Chains A and B, each alone.
Chain A
Amino acid sequence: DGGITQSPKYLFRKEGQNVTLSCEQNLNHDAMYWYRQDPGQGLRLIYYSQIVNDFQKGDIAEGYSVSREKKESFPLTVTSAQKNPTAFYLCASNGQGKDEQFFGPGTRLTVL
């Protein structure tokens, strides 16, 4: 079954803890993206990566970190420095020269 998977679907975290969200794709896409979706805010770009071992900050990178050690994987860490981490997080990917991005099912993070 091809596509993008995100895990877990729901995640609860205590304040002050770091947490890592998983994103995997088997579409052989070079580029991967992380967005945050909040009600009334649309999707905002956190980080993106165009190639393994390289990534760039998006519009709201503060309090987040990423790694891209493998083409298939682009995990996002929400650190304790992120002031308002409760949100729905979406991962996406696309191939070079292709504008259409394919999205994962999302992870809903709640900080207690």
Chain B
Amino acid sequence: AQRVTQPEKLLSVFKGAPVELKCNYSYSGSPELFWYVQYSRQRLQLLLRHISRESIKGFTADLNKGETSFHLKKPFAQEEDSAMYYCALSGRLRSGYSTLTFGKGTMLLVSP
């Protein structure tokens, strides 16, 4: 069974401080992992995926298969980063579609 664990419900930092939102997963196959973000009064949207290896809004995430982790990092937090962040694992179905298993989410609060 696939599982995603986000150990922190809330992470509170000051503007300019480094941020790391933790995500660990369990999956028997080759994982595809994502970070989704939900800003206040906005819909849930994709932030980044491990396959693309890109940096979005200054955030990066590296898949570590040995530690089964996909932590989200940003060197200098901004107030506009305050949001709910969800780590998600994709489970491919035989049909070619996939379902997502989400972690419970981490609320990031960046104070001025």
Q: Which residues of A contact B (CB under 8 A)?
A: 30-31, 33, 35, 40-45, 48, 50, 58, 90, 92, 94, 96-97, 99-101, 103-106
Q: Is the CB of B49 within 8 A of A97?
A: no
Give chain A residues whose Cβ lies under 8 Å from the Cβ of B71.
Answer: none
Inter-chain residue pair count (beta carbon < 8 A):
54
Min C-beta distance of A12 to chain B, whole Å: 20
- What is B's interface to A at a CB cutoff of 8 Å? 6, 9, 32, 34, 43-46, 49, 86, 90, 93, 95-105
Q: B86 and A96: CB pair below 8 A? A: no
Q: Which residues of B contact A90 (CB under 8 A)?
A: 44
Contacts of B93 in A (CB 8 A): 50
| Residue contact A43 to B97, C-beta cutoff 8 Å | no
Q: How many Å lie between the Cα of A99 and that of B30 in the bound state?
A: 14
Give 9 nearest A-B pairs by CB, closest first.
A42-B104, A43-B102, A103-B44, A42-B102, A99-B90, A50-B97, A31-B97, A105-B43, A96-B96
